[in-house]
Amino acid sequence: MLPSRRLILAHFWLGFAAFGVSLLLGEWQMFVRSPLHAWLRHPELYYRSVTAHGTAMAYVFPMLIAMGFGYAVTEAALKQDLIGRLWAWGAFALVAVGTVVAMIPVSLGLASVLYTFYPPLIANPLYYIGIVLVVAGSWIWVALMSVNLRAWRQRNPGAPVPLAMFATVAGAYLWAWTAVGAALELLLQIIPASLGITTTIDAGLSRVLFSWTLHAIVYFWLMPAYIAYYTIIPRAIGGRLYSDPMARLVFVMFLVFAMPIGVHHLFADPQVGAGFKFMHSVFTGLVVIPTLLTVFTICASVEIAGRLRGGRGMFGWLIALPWRNPMMLALAFSFVMLGFGGAGGIINMTYQLDSSVHNTQWITGHFHLIFGGAIVMMYFAIATDLWPHLTGRALASLGLMRAQLWTWFIGMIVLTFPWHYAGLLGMPRRMAFYDYSDPALAGQAAAVDASVAGGVILLVSGALFFAVLVRGHFAPAADPGEYRFSVAAHHQAKLPAALNGFGLWVGLMVALTVVNYGFPIAHLLSLKNNEVPVMSVSASQ
Amino acid sequence: MTMDRPPFWKTWTMAAAALVACIAAGSITIGFVLLPVLQPNDGHLSIWQRICHAAGVSRPVAAGEPPAPATITTSRVVVVPQMLMAQVPASVGSGATLALQCGSCHGARGVSGADVPNLAGQYPAVIYKELLDYASGARENAVMSPRVAQLSDADMRDLAAYYAYLPRPPAGRQAAPPIVASGSPMHNVAPCGACHGTTDYKTGSPWLDSEPFDYLKAQLIAFASGARHNDISGQMRNVARGMTVADITASAEYYARAQ
């Protein structure tokens, strides 16, 4: 059992609670803007809900999972008690308090600006202050990951850092740097306007700063999922990790290439030059490399498991895989959704193709497939894999877990595939209601109805997931033994020092940020008369 | 596993930095030089101008050709949310004195039956902006224009403060018609209530509850025809043009009956 299990459980439970509430809100949003519901008479309620859904799902939920999982990895991989547990509880308190502080104005309709902020819309300051508290909490976690690694290195001079910890710290450093963009936007532009200190804002600059955070945050969400691919799944299905250095290379490539690519979210923004859009598009394309390396390495690792179980021939190993093992199912579903989502992502990052899907429902479909599908599927896997080590009780209900994973997969496909299609038909995003009675829009109605049905399946799956976790707390006590990570197939005689540290990669990450963001930000800062009056969002009648 | 020692480290540093630098240099060459040079529509620009354009640096407008002269006067007022929000008692008192000239139409307490705007409780920024627009000629009215011509900027602020200070007529609500609650999506008309109350309030939008039916209807028709053109960025002209006669009547009736 992990020494900090109460801390980790607190993170997981608060994270999944936020997830559960947001799941309900998400399905409500899907339903009220579908043809199954009359036009919303109070559209502001829709934006209120979207803000809560986005804030909880994008900031609170993945952050708490990454933090809790990071603490678990620290203790399990480094085999040492977490250093700074009190600080970790403090960070947890900051996230919890920040979430509540942010959600109060959202619930009151004083902050319906969506989680991407959208200046010159300006919300009640408590919303932004709450988010700053959440991010501050996560930065404490970043520091704790670094401190724990440093302490381990001092006790084990020259030894290779366990892969799980190496990847966790890579994710932590990625988050620390990528959060700087939104932090600058909040602290220098939005919060002063929200407090009434300034009355105008350079919305173009805000959007560039937010794009600094907006794409790399996706890779921060992705990190726990990738860590699970490499360090949990091969062990859980009885295989071996195909290559340990390849895994490290993948994580450092994410560290370098996830950051200088956010301008592909601004293809339609006039304040950024076409040259920078091209550069960011090129670097976005490079993210395909670590993704495909992962697909290769994990498929090879899974093949090892299949062959160890007696699978023979070109495809026999596939049949021999432990398909009744929930971890195997989770990986397969996650990869299928990562494949479709990734293909959609390549379309989004291509300037010419983006023109036909920009700001349509295609985009919302895309990131739900990637995050809600491929990533959250692995969050489920992480939680159920860790649960016995946190509760001291076995998760016996494998059938329930399989049903949960199947329903999440089917629900997510039924939700997002029609969602993409509606986007291709030109259905815009961020609207509270649509006139499906118009012949031009009537063709979109069936797709939206299908998505509502997908959402219902996801609600059922969400309920099953909570049932799995809660039953885990009431199962008979059982010693889960030591928590183990995957073992590499080949004994690696030598590990390049570059793949055991972060100096080079963090240096490249910062340098590329300067090259790709330095000029656009400096140029926008140098422009005069670029500001517009801020627009307060309120529910005053 | 054992660790490799520094010579490899140096190799990795060199290789990784060189690879990333090559990718960056290649994308800079293509993005800032090759693609801009190949653009067929930019033949009139020098190569340096094209590079600057690709970097997002906009060219100054070419001198010589003056912009087309405006045929109508539009509002030059910039409205911000904090405009005139602080109530100054002296300003209210001074405004009350000035308002003695206005009462014959707008009512002694800012409410009248004369089918002119009821001003009691109106947002001060709205009143101030309309007065400025009358003064500049952006909004024209045979009765208002000559009277406003005599007002100083301080007078306008005082009048705005006074009318904002007066209590609004009591509001009685009925169910909002679709145009107020949901707008008309296919005509690109946002819900009236999203800016003018009922659902939400947006900076610069007047409070419309209990304004006279004839006044509201006349203003919407004037916006639609372009006869009234002091709305910032043409917001209301765009909305009113998309409204049907039934929409105009329904929305005017809804706000007029809220008293």
A493 and B CB contact within 8 Å: yes
Longest dimension (CA), chain B: 95
Cα–Cα dist B36/A274, whole Å: 9
Cβ-based neighbours of A197, under 8 Å, separated by 6 or more: none
Is residue A215 part of the annotated active site? The answer reads: yes
**Cα–Cα distance, B115 to B214 (Å, whole number):** 6
Please classify residue A388 by burial: count the beta carbons closer than 10 Å to its beta carbon, then call 0-12 exposed, 13-18 middle and 19+ buried: buried
A402 is catalytic: no
Interface list for A 356-415 with B (CB within 8 A): none
Q: Is A430 on the interface with B (CB under 8 A)?
A: no
Contact predicate A2/A75, CB 8 Å = yes
Count of CB atoms within 10 A of residue A490's CB? 11
Give the per-residue SS3 of A348-377. HCCHHHHHHHCCEHHHHHHHHHHHHHHHHH
Token pair recorded at residue A506: 């963090």
Residues of A in contact with B201 (CB under 8 A): 538, 540-541
Of the candidates B156, B96, B196, B224, the one whose C-alpha atom is nearest the C-alpha of residue A540 is B196
Rounded Cα–Cα distance for residues B184 and B238 (Å): 13
Please check whether residue A125 is in contact with residue A53, taking contact to mean a CB–CB distance below 8 angstroms: no
Q: Among this protein's residues, is A358 annotated catalytic?
A: no
Cα B247 to its chain centre, rounded Å, is 22
Q: Collect all residues of chain A within an 8 Å Cβ-Cβ radius of residue B6.
A: 497
Q: pLDDT per residue over A180-226, tens digit each?
A: 999 999 999 999 999 989 989 999 999 999 999 999 999 999 999 99
Q: Which A residues in the span 497-516 are in contact with B, Cβ-Cβ below 8 Å? A: 497-500, 504-505, 508, 511-512, 515-516
Using a CB–CB cutoff of 8 Å, tell me whether A428 touches chain B: no
Other C-beta atoms lying within 10 Å of the C-beta of residue B83:
21
Give residue A512's pLDDT: 96
For the question of residue A389 being annotated catalytic, the response is no
CA distance B142 to chain A (A): 32
CA–CA dist A471, A396 (Å, integer): 9
Q: Is residue A1 less than 8 Å (CB to CB) from chain B?
A: no
* A35-64 confidence digits (pLDDT tens): 999 988 888 899 999 999 999 999 999 999
Backbone angles phi, psi at A445, to 5 degrees: -60, -45
Greatest extent of chain A over all pairs of C-alpha atoms, in Å: 71
What is the pLDDT confidence band of residue B194, given thresholds at 50, 70 and 90?
A: confident
Each residue of B81-136: pLDDT tens digit?
A: 778 877 788 899 999 999 999 999 999 999 998 899 999 999 999 999 999 999 99
Rounded to whole angstroms, the Cα distance separating A7 from B127 reads: 57
pLDDT at A114 over 90: yes
**Architecture in CATH for domain B89-165:** Orthogonal Bundle (1.10)
CB A117 within 8 A of CB A213: no
Q: Report the alpha-carbon distance of residue B180 to residue B190 in Å, rounded.
A: 8
Return the CATH fold of B178-256: Cytochrome Bc1 Complex; Chain D, domain 2 (1.10.760)
Measured from the Cβ of residue A368, the count of other Cβ atoms closer than 10 Å reads 24
* A535-536 vs A121-122, strand pairing mode: parallel
Query: How many residues can be counted in chain A?
Result: 541
What residues does B2 pair with on adjacent strands? A494
Report the pLDDT value the prediction gives residue A541, as an integer from 0 to 100: 36
High-pLDDT (> 70) share of chain A, %: 99
> Can you give the length of chain B in residues?
259
- Rounded CA Rg of chain A: 23
Report CB contact under 8 Å: B82, A256.
Answer: no
Beta carbon pairs, A and B, within 8 Å = 153
On the 0-12 / 13-18 / 19+ scale of CB atoms within 10 A, A11 is buried
pLDDT tens by residue, A259-279: 899 999 999 999 999 999 999
Q: Catalytic residue, from A367, A380, A483, A485: name it.
A: A367
Active site residue A219: yes
Residue A493 CB burial class (10 angstroms; 0-12, 13-18, ≥19)? exposed
How far is Cα B244 from Cα B177, in angstroms, rounded to an integer? 14
Q: Is the pLDDT of residue B9 over 70?
A: no
The values of phi and psi at residue A4, to 5°, are -95, 35
ipTM of predicted assembly, 2 dp: 0.86
Domains of chain B: which residue ranges? 19-54, 89-165, 178-256
Cβ atoms of B36 and B51 within 8 Å: the answer is yes
State the pLDDT confidence band at B210, using cuts at 50, 70 and 90. Answer: confident
Confidence of residue B2 (pLDDT cuts 50, 70, 90): low
- Amino acid at position B74, single letter: T
Residue with tokens 């520091």: A143
pTM beyond 0.80, yes or no: yes
